[in-house]
Structure formats: structure tokens, C-alpha cells
Amino acid sequence: MEFASLARRVLDTASARGARYADVRFENVRSERVEVRNGVVASLGDARSCGYGVRALFEGAWGFAASNDLTEAGVDRAAARAVAIARASASIAREPFGEVPPHAYVDRYVTPMQRDPKTVPLGERVALALEAEKLAHASDRIAVARAWLDLWRTEKFFYSSIGSAIEQCIVQTGSGVQAMAVGEREVQTRTYPGDIGLYKSGGWEIVEEAALTQNATRIGEEATALLDATQCPSGTLDVILGGSQVSLQIHESCGHPAELDRVMGWEANFSGTSFLEIGQLDILQYGSPIVTITIDNTLPCGMATCGYDDEGTQCGVSDIVRDGVLRGYEMSNDTARAIGRQSNACVRAQSWEFVPMIRMCNLNLSPGNVPFDELFTDIREGVYMESNRSWSIDDRRLNFQFGCQIGWEIKNGKRGRMLKNPTYAGMTPRFWNTCDAIADANSWNAWGTPNCGKGEPMQTGRTTQAAAPARFRGVSVGVAYL
């Protein structure tokens, strides 16, 4: 569909209604899912959605209106509605806040991929999921096995009243397999890859990288073995976290608290606030000196990788934590200006019908210089944990408790017997300051999170936290089962 002429109409209407600035984001979205559960294709879906969202700025206040009505009358109504809503925002504002974005771009971006998923026949996708699910039934104690594939394609067309015209085609792909073993009074679950599958931007090669069928039997066996495994001990122990769990740790204890809208109180009633207050910038020793966490929205295969964010800001790389010190935030145009900075393109909307807001995007822990196996060598007593099972953190992102699907005892530098129900807890900066080793780039992967929740109405964001396994000293372990 030709959106440029409709966009002109939207922007003209908004301007005629009094908007100082307006932008419009048309999207064609296609979501395909195959999910197999116990031999049955429980979900075989193909959903398409097309619509647009209009942002209008009036007297320093924003309004947003979205619609699927692509007629000329429809876009007129949506533009007028956005301005009327902006006027209502202005009517209660104690001070103006919104400003016209500083830059305009005319550009095009397409997700690089080796094999476009749309060229993979549906029969092949279903067969892969059925095979992986079947292999996960490694014993008769596996009550439920699942395998799934998600293929997402979003075509975006962004136009603004200051001259931006940006076309993007973003392709994201994910897949996973899971086995759930049921015993007496307990359930043990193993998922592969990570805790939710492997999700990246890119094509069918992401599904191939996941190697579901090569790993399905193993995770079924591990789920079964966990039923008879030793309970993870409680106490203060050294801990090694697998890469996907480090990814979750970054997501919850760095990604969310570094969202500048949250820092400024914009999420206070729901997602919460943040301990990373603006006065801590360039001062707070967030982690040990080996901890460097960057936003890189150009990262190959990152779920949030694209050319421009949903405010039309060009993507790039910036620091959140450098050598352990807090150096920045995830920002939008308005929030960045409030602290004297420029946006780092961290604004995303779930899809056309949602208002754009700050998301953590690709937030990556730089790899260390230690081969993975050497993380174990000088641990006298500890636990190695993999694949998240439970995650909870307070509304300032300080007090956390996470649990993993599986653990292994570490004794005198060696990985030992399997442990069930491993959990650990801590306070965010204290915990990151105990990080004394990060595995090298050979163990580093771009772990995607396809279901990050934030905002009201709730929006699902797709983020990546690239990470390698890491070692933490003197961690509180097993508190959930005291």
C-alpha cells in the first residue's frame, strides 16, 4: 500500500488542527506461530494487522491516536483525535514538556538475513516442531513437551512534519523446545535454548542456530533427572550463571532501572521507579570494574536492531555502565533533553496501535577474557545455574530473587552433581560488584527476550541482552526454600 500520500494528509490535518509537530507510523505486521504440545499442533496461527498511529504535539503536550481505518476520512479522524487528545494533555499539564524532535531522516532499513522465513514452507516448520517435541519426551515422566516457532515481520513507514520519511522491514525469528517432568508433589521443567527459546532478528538461520532437534532429548532427560536430583543448598556461596541467566539478570537489574522514563517517575504506579537516580550519573559504582554494559541498537541479530526508533531517531551505540560506573540511560527525545542529553533511539511501540515509549532495546554485557571452563577453577564451594525459572525484583529494581531451572554443584573447581530448584537473591549494585569474571567472546550470545512487559496499556517489547556466563562471589543462595 502507498502510505506517503496518506501520511501527508495526516500531517496536514494535524497541523490544521493546531499541532506544532506530528508524526505518523504505518505498520504492516505479520505474526506466524507454530506450537506443538504433546503431539498435537495446539497453535497454528497466521495473524496480519495493518494500521497507523499518529502523535501530535500541542503546547508542549502529546496526544496519540491509532486506527486501522486507512480511508482518507479515517486518517482525518485519527489525526484530529490525536490533536484533541494532545489538547486534553495540555489542559492538565503543570508545565510544558514535549518538544519537536531535533533531527529528520530519509532512509530505508531491512533486517539482514540469510534465508527469508517466508520461503520456508509451512509443512517444513510444522514438521520441525513436531520432531523436536517428540524428541523431548525422553522418559515416561515427561508429562508435557512443547516446541514452538515464531516468525514476525514488521514493515514500518514513518513520516514526520519536520521531513522524516523512513521505511523499515524488520524480521524477527524465534524457536524453542521444553519438557516438563511431573513427580510426586513437584514439577521440573527444562527449556532450550535458554529459558524461552532463541529469539533474534534475522531469518530462518536463527531457527537453525537453535538446533532444537539436536538438544530436545537432552533437555527431556535433564527434566526427568531433576525429579531425583539433590535440592540446591542454602547459604552464601559463589555462583556461576549461564549466559541466558546473565541476560535475564541484565534485563531486570540494569535494563529496566536504566529506562529514563522510569527514573523520572513515568512508570511509578505500575512498573515502578528506579534506584539509578539522575544524581548518581557518573558517580554510582554500579558493578565491579569488569562490568561494562552498552546499548547497541545496531547489534547484528539483536531483537531491537533496526535503523531508527519509533520517534525517528537513528540507532547507535552508547554506554549505560562503563568499567562499573553508571554512565547513561535508555532515552527518548523528551527525557534526554530533560537531563541535557540526546536520545539514544530507545523508543519502541509494540505495534501501530500502541504509543511509542522507552524500551531497553539491545543491552549488552561486554565479554570478559576468561574461557568458560576457567570460571570454575578457583571456586571452592559454589553452584552453577542455567536457564531462568523464576524472576522477581522490587519496584525500584534493587531487591531481587531469581530461580533457575537447573544447577550443578561446584566443589574445588569442578562441576559436580545436578541440583534442583536453585535460587539466588541479592541487592542489585552489591551483586554486580561481586562479579569477578566474565567468560570470553566464545561464550557470548545475543539472548533475545520476546515478551518484555511495560507500560499502560501493557506493551510487549522485544529486547536483547547479549551476555556470556559470569561468576559472582558470596551470593545468597537457596533462600526461597529455607
Distance of CA 472 to the CA centre of its chain: 23
Query: What is the nearest approach in angstroms of another protein to the Cβ of residue 23?
Result: 14
235 interacts with another protein by CB under 8 A: no
195 interacts with another protein by CB under 8 A: no
Query: What is the nearest approach in angstroms of another protein to the Cβ of residue 371?
Result: 33
76 interacts with another protein by CB under 8 A: no
- Which of 4, 5, 16, 69 is the binder for another protein (CB under 8 A)? 69
89 interacts with another protein by CB under 8 A: yes
Sheet holding 325-326, edge to edge: 325-326, 317-322, 293-296, 363-365
Of residues 378 and 456, the one with the C-beta less far from another protein: 456
**What is the C-alpha separation between 187 and 181, in angstroms, rounded?**
6
401 interacts with another protein by CB under 8 A: yes
Q: If we measure between CA atoms, which residue out of 47, 51, 58 comes closest to residue 21?
A: 58
270 interacts with another protein by CB under 8 A: yes
Of residues 164 and 428, the one with the C-beta less far from another protein: 428
**What is the C-alpha separation between 242 and 405, in angstroms, rounded?**
11
Q: Which stretch binds another protein (CB under 8 A): 109-117, 239-247, 257-265, 379-387?
A: 257-265
Of residues 46 and 381, the one with the C-beta less far from another protein: 46
72 interacts with another protein by CB under 8 A: no
**If binding means CB under 8 A, how many residues of this protein chain bind another protein?**
90
Which DSSP symbol is given to 185? T
18 interacts with another protein by CB under 8 A: no
**Sign of torsion, CA 455 459 460 464?**
negative
Query: What is the nearest approach in angstroms of another protein to the Cβ of residue 453?
Result: 7
138 interacts with another protein by CB under 8 A: no
Amino acid at the residue 157? F
40 interacts with another protein by CB under 8 A: yes
Query: What is the nearest approach in angstroms of another protein to the Cβ of residue 318?
Result: 23
What are the backbone angles phi and psi of residue 88, rounded to the nearest 5°? -65, -40
278 interacts with another protein by CB under 8 A: no
C-alpha grid cell, residue 237: 556461596
- Which of 7, 11, 66, 365 is the binder for another protein (CB under 8 A)? 66
- Which of 425, 437, 446, 470 is the binder for another protein (CB under 8 A)? 425
C-alpha grid cell, residue 326: 553508571
Q: Which stretch binds another protein (CB under 8 A): 45-53, 190-198, 368-376, 409-417?
A: 45-53
**What is the C-alpha separation between 435 and 288, in angstroms, rounded?**
6
- Which of 17, 63, 343, 437 is the binder for another protein (CB under 8 A)? 63
| Residues 90-119 close enough to bind another protein by CB under 8 A | 91-95, 97
310 interacts with another protein by CB under 8 A: no
CB 247 within 8 A of CB 465: yes
Task: Measure Cα distances from 374 to 236, 370, 440 in Å.
Answer: 21, 6, 10
86 interacts with another protein by CB under 8 A: yes
153 interacts with another protein by CB under 8 A: no
- Which of 272, 300, 413, 474 is the binder for another protein (CB under 8 A)? 272
**What is the C-alpha separation between 257 and 293, in angstroms, rounded?**
13
Query: What is the nearest approach in angstroms of another protein to the Cβ of residue 458?
Result: 4
**What is the C-alpha separation between 13 and 249, in angstroms, rounded?**
46
The secondary structure of 361-408 as a DSSP string is: -BEEEPP-SB-GGGGGTT-SEEEEEEEEEEEEE-TTS-EEEEEEEEEE
Query: What is the nearest approach in angstroms of another protein to the Cβ of residue 402?
Result: 9
126 interacts with another protein by CB under 8 A: yes
**What is the C-alpha separation between 420 and 386, in angstroms, rounded?**
11
Q: Helices in 172-253 by DSSP H: which ranges?
A: 204-210, 212-227, 243-250
411 interacts with another protein by CB under 8 A: no
For residue 78, the SS3 value is helix
C-alpha grid cell, residue 172: 524477527
Of residues 162 and 182, the one with the C-beta less far from another protein: 182
Q: Provide the CB-side half-sphere exposure for 28 (13 A, CA).
A: 8
